[in-house]
Amino acid sequence: MTITKQTGQVTAVADGTVVTPKGFQAAGVNAGLRYSKKDLGVIVCDVPASAAAVYTQSRFQAAPLKVTQESLAAEQKLQAVIVNSACANACTGAQGLKDAYEMRELCAKQFGLAPHYVAVASTGVIGECLPMEKIRAGIKQLVPGATAADAEAFQTAILTTDTVMKHACYETTVDGKTITVGGAAKGSGMIHPNMATMLAFITTDANISSPVLQEALRSITDVSFNQITVDGDTSTNDMVVVMASGLAGNGELTPDHPDWECFYEALRKTCEDLAKQIAKDGEGATKLIEVRVRGAKTDDEAKKVAKQIVGSNLVKTAVYGADANWGRIIGAIGYADADVNPDNVDVAIGPIVMLKGSEPQPFSEEEAAAYLQQETVVIEVDLHMGDGVGVAWGCDLTYDYVKINASYRT
């Protein structure tokens, strides 16, 4: 285990995964939903874990989300989450719901669990039913383990058009005990507000109750997963699930606990790290765009402005073309749902100030173009209206985005 970065009392664990926290195992196999890529994965916990989840805001919630919500409603505990890629099991009517229940049942049986301890997730094409013969056979093949290879098999099984696996892991200390938070995610297209085709699975060995975990997840989601956008589309299947095994042996965490901030920060960093990986690996993307807004009336308004900028097709194409077209940033600010004084806005692209007090500043086009060729492009905006701050992440809009999405199904 390599320790790479220290931030306050939270430490990044470079090669950490969902099986790094105590009590978790994972697996991933090819069940034949795809030609050869792994397409079915599971995370299993040694004990019933405190659990929390957030779901897509779409009115068309896919069948697996309904089943997962039912599972969590029973005891707010989970001991396994079963996930398939290739087929979203969304808009599949009564048959889809039946299939999602069966997937839960089969997973419970495979690992000797009560069905309501199992969460179900699916991602892929909308409107097609799960090939249940393949799912049934695939679940029987799942043999979880706690090695890096097991975690990797799971991370691969959940991907769709993603080009890289996404995982993150952070450590902290609570009551003198090491607490670890690990996560795996998939993203790519249809990424926008409020959970877009995005799945994230987070494990921790912290001792924490489900309601407290749920509250933490909700507030962290608002500044991490809900602040990324790839194409402005929200999916029917997005879900973030957290399971806390409690095996680290700390005293129960609540917001009043003296080490609460450490835990919260470890969870937040895991989510932000995964969110940024998703944004960076957006379909066709070549660059990560990070927009930092300060001086808004409220944090909420700052977040909205940041997300509006990072979601603008015109900003995204300008970043792709390394064109310092700050007028498009102003354009996006102008229609964000936030109070703005049009006569007093600062805009900088990286270290280069473009607009100060809404007056254009002279800058070197060459320098700006060179900065915009970096892998990560930071746009900073000051609205001079108050103390609100917010960050959002996205990616550039490229030829490859069009290519991938003009023929996703075929």
By annotation, the residues acting in catalysis are 197
Q: Taking a C-beta distance cutoff of 8 angstroms, is the pair 166, 185 a contact? A: yes
Find all residues with CB under 8 Å of 6, minimum gap 6, and list them: none
Q: Taking a C-beta distance cutoff of 8 angstroms, is the pair 339, 301 a contact? A: yes
Q: Mark residues 245-284: x for contact with a copy of itself by CB under 8 A, - for none.
A: ----------------------------------------
- Contacting a copy of itself within 49-88 (CB under 8 A): 56-61, 88
235 touches a copy of itself (CB under 8 A)? yes
Q: Of 12-20, 264-272, 327-335, 386-394, which part binds a copy of itself (CB under 8 A)?
A: 327-335
> From the centroid of its chain, how far is CA 25?
21
Query: Measured between alpha carbons, how far is 112 from 143 in angstroms, rounded to an integer?
Result: 13
241 touches a copy of itself (CB under 8 A)? no
337 touches a copy of itself (CB under 8 A)? no
- Contacting a copy of itself within 114-143 (CB under 8 A): 125-128
Nearer to a copy of itself, 21 or 193 (CB): 193
Show the tokens assigned to 265.
């920060």
Q: How far is the CB of 30 from a copy of itself (least distance, A)?
A: 24
Among 239, 279, 355, 391, which residue sits at the site for a copy of itself (rule: CB under 8 A)?
355
Size of the site for a copy of itself (CB under 8 A): 64
Say if residue 405 carries a ligand binding annotation. yes
Element (H, E) at 140: helix 132-141
43 touches a copy of itself (CB under 8 A)? no
Among 89, 92, 156, 204, which residue sits at the site for a copy of itself (rule: CB under 8 A)?
92
Show the tokens assigned to 22.
């105590």
Show the tokens assigned to 235.
């999916």
Phi, psi angles (nearest 5°) of residue 243: -125, 135
SS3 of residue 400 by DSSP: helix
Q: Taking a C-beta distance cutoff of 8 angstroms, is the pair 323, 268 a contact? A: no
Query: Measured between alpha carbons, how far is 103 from 100 in angstroms, rounded to an integer?
Result: 5
Q: How far is the CB of 15 from a copy of itself (least distance, A)?
A: 34
Nearer to a copy of itself, 124 or 144 (CB): 124
For residue 289, give the amino acid letter. I
Of 274, 230, 212, 268, the residue nearest 397 (C-alpha) = 230
For residue 92, give the amino acid letter. T
Per-position DSSP letters for 94-106, written without gaps between them: HHHHHHHHHHHHH
Query: Measured between alpha carbons, how far is 356 from 361 in angstroms, rounded to an integer?
Result: 7
Q: Mark residues 160-199: x for contact with a copy of itself by CB under 8 A, - for none.
A: -----------------------------xx-xxx-----
Q: How far is the CB of 230 from a copy of itself (least distance, A)?
A: 9
Q: How far is the CB of 228 from a copy of itself (least distance, A)?
A: 15
Beta strands in 90-215 (DSSP E): 118-122, 166-174, 177-186, 199-204
Query: Measured between alpha carbons, how far is 46 from 30 in angstroms, rounded to an integer?
Result: 24
Among 132, 223, 314, 353, which residue sits at the site for a copy of itself (rule: CB under 8 A)?
314
Helices (H) and strands (E) in the chain, counts: 11, 17
Show the tokens assigned to 263.
């835990």
Q: How far is the CB of 84 from a copy of itself (least distance, A)?
A: 16
Q: Mark residues 201-230: x for contact with a copy of itself by CB under 8 A, - for none.
A: ------------------------------
Among 175, 215, 222, 233, which residue sits at the site for a copy of itself (rule: CB under 8 A)?
233
Query: Measured between alpha carbons, how far is 278 from 139 in angstroms, rounded to an integer?
Result: 27
399 touches a copy of itself (CB under 8 A)? yes
Among 143, 149, 164, 402, which residue sits at the site for a copy of itself (rule: CB under 8 A)?
402
Query: Measured between alpha carbons, how far is 117 from 186 in angstroms, rounded to an integer?
Result: 23
Say if residue 261 carries a ligand binding annotation. no
Say if residue 197 carries a ligand binding annotation. yes
Say if residue 147 carries a ligand binding annotation. no
Among 234, 245, 270, 277, which residue sits at the site for a copy of itself (rule: CB under 8 A)?
234
Phi, psi angles (nearest 5°) of residue 305: -65, -45
The packing angle between helices 260-280 and 210-223, to 10°, is 40
Among 4, 35, 362, 409, which residue sits at the site for a copy of itself (rule: CB under 8 A)?
409
Q: Which residues are annotated as a binding site for substrate?
A: 160, 186, 197, 283, 405, 410
Interaction site with a copy of itself (CB under 8 A): 56-61, 88, 90-93, 125-128, 189-190, 192-194, 231-236, 311-314, 317-318, 320-321, 323, 325-328, 330-335, 340, 342, 355, 358-360, 365, 397-399, 401-403, 405-410
